[in-house]
Amino acid sequence: MPETIHIMTFNLRYASGPDGENAWRNPNQTPNRKLVARDVITAHQPDVLGLQEGEDEQLDELAALLPHLHFIRAKPSGGRGNENAAVAWNPEKMDFLDSGVFALSEKPGPDFADSAGEPFDPYAFFPGLKYPFPRIAIRARFRWRSTGQRFYFYSTHFDLNEDPQTRSATLIVRDAQRRASRPDGAPLAIVCGDFNSAPTDDAWKLFTGSLSRDGARGDFRDSWTDSREPSADAGTYHDFHGGHPPSRRRIDWILHRGGFAARDAKILYDIAEATNNSTGATRAQLPSDHYPVWARLQFPTD
């Protein structure tokens, strides 16, 4: 049987957000959102997991709740600079080879494969940002133990405006393509994250090859569109309202290149019944203001 890998992307919603009953550490509710987030990860058993918006203590807590996974992180990745881009993986399935981080800015830094020696500066903002937040991409390189195949994995979180989104996609495409051509590189790559844009927008088009910019044109495929029938209610951002948002809100993607084939993809609608410890009242608790996304990718066999 061909080998498959289970991928998950999850915007955690930062723990310091003013979220009332949905607070990450709500002490008056059982279970609180932190435990619901743990449970959705445990239930779907990703081999590799890309995380966005996790603050330092939040990721520390999640790592303690998920001891079977190893974590790396990097910041600043949005907000006040306290959020991380992070990757977690199952060390029983793969070997961690190395990692890097580059800024989605005018100065991506020496870890960017196409770097001309510019410094790493996430605050060298692209023009036209919706919010003056730093944005980065964290990259890890792994070896799938049972086959020896190497692959790159990226986790990222884009701005809300289209032009800086497209510039950010251009950097990731260039990094993945340049690394694929290196003697120690690999064509296999996965990019996941909160892209704050719809699959009809320019960032998605650049990743998937129907748009070019600054000499870059991606050859990524979207695991959702590859393995699912078109749907009008496949959104992933719900702002703690749940339900099935319209597909223009499908802003969390798992993209792949180099020979992977998407065999399945799911939006994870997991929800828990939570109890108010003071009143005994129950309510629905979602793990975040985004639905996580899961995909099963098949490794190439030739």
Collect all residues with Cβ–Cβ distance below 8 Å to 155 and sequence separation of at least 6: 9, 50, 51, 52, 85, 86, 87, 137, 138, 192, 193
Dist CA 210 CA 286 (whole Å) = 35
Q: Is the dihedral of CA 215, 219, 222, 226 positive or negative?
A: positive
pLDDT band at residue 180, thresholds of 50, 70 and 90?
very high
Dist CA 45 CA 294 (whole Å) = 10
Mean pLDDT across the stretch 151-166? 98
Dist CA 302 CA 224 (whole Å) = 24
pLDDT of residue 184 exceeding 80: yes
pLDDT tens readout for residues 71-81: 999 999 988 88
State residue 151 phi and psi, 5-degree precision: -155, 155
Q: Which domain holds residue 203?
A: 4-298
pLDDT of residue 230 exceeding 80: yes
Pairing of strands 94-103, 70-74: unpaired
pLDDT of residue 249 exceeding 90: yes
Average pLDDT of the chain, as a whole number:
96
Q: What's residue 183's pLDDT?
A: 87
**Closest C-alpha to 292, from 12, 36, 76:** 12
**Closest C-alpha to 59, from 8, 14, 9:** 14
pLDDT tens readout for residues 86-139: 999 999 999 999 999 999 999 999 999 987 778 999 999 999 999 999 999 999
Q: How many domains does the chain have?
A: 1
Q: What's residue 137's pLDDT?
A: 98
User: Tokens standing for 42?
Assistant: 């445990």
Collect all residues with Cβ–Cβ distance below 8 Å to 285 and sequence separation of at least 6: 21, 22, 29, 31, 32, 33, 36, 271, 272, 273, 274
Q: Which residue matches tokens 């990259």?
A: 139
Q: What's residue 80's pLDDT?
A: 80
User: Tokens standing for 268?
Assistant: 């994870």
Q: What's residue 258's pLDDT?
A: 97
Dist CA 193 CA 157 (whole Å) = 6
Which residues sit opposite 295 in a β-bridge? 7, 265
Dist CA 195 CA 51 (whole Å) = 12
DSSP structure class, residue 22 = G
CATH code assigned at 202: 3.60.10.10
Q: What's residue 109's pLDDT?
A: 96
The answer, as to whether pTM is greater than 0.85, is yes
Tell me how many helices (H) and strands (E) the chain has.
Answer: 5, 15
**CA angle 285-288-289, nearest 5°?**
105
Collect all residues with Cβ–Cβ distance below 8 Å to 291 and sequence separation of at least 6: 236, 237, 238, 252, 267, 268, 269
Q: What's residue 294's pLDDT?
A: 98
Dist CA 89 CA 290 (whole Å) = 21
pLDDT band at residue 185, thresholds of 50, 70 and 90?
confident
User: Tokens standing for 243?
Assistant: 């339900």
Q: Which residue matches tokens 């704050």?
A: 196
pLDDT tens readout for residues 250-266: 999 999 999 999 999 99
Which residues sit opposite 137 in a β-bridge? 102, 156
What one-character-per-residue DSSP string does 155-196 give? EEE--SSHHHHHHHHHHHHHHHHHHHTSTT--S-EEEEEE-S
Complete edge-to-edge strand list for the sheet that includes strand 150-157: 94-103, 136-144, 150-157, 189-194, 252-257, 221-222
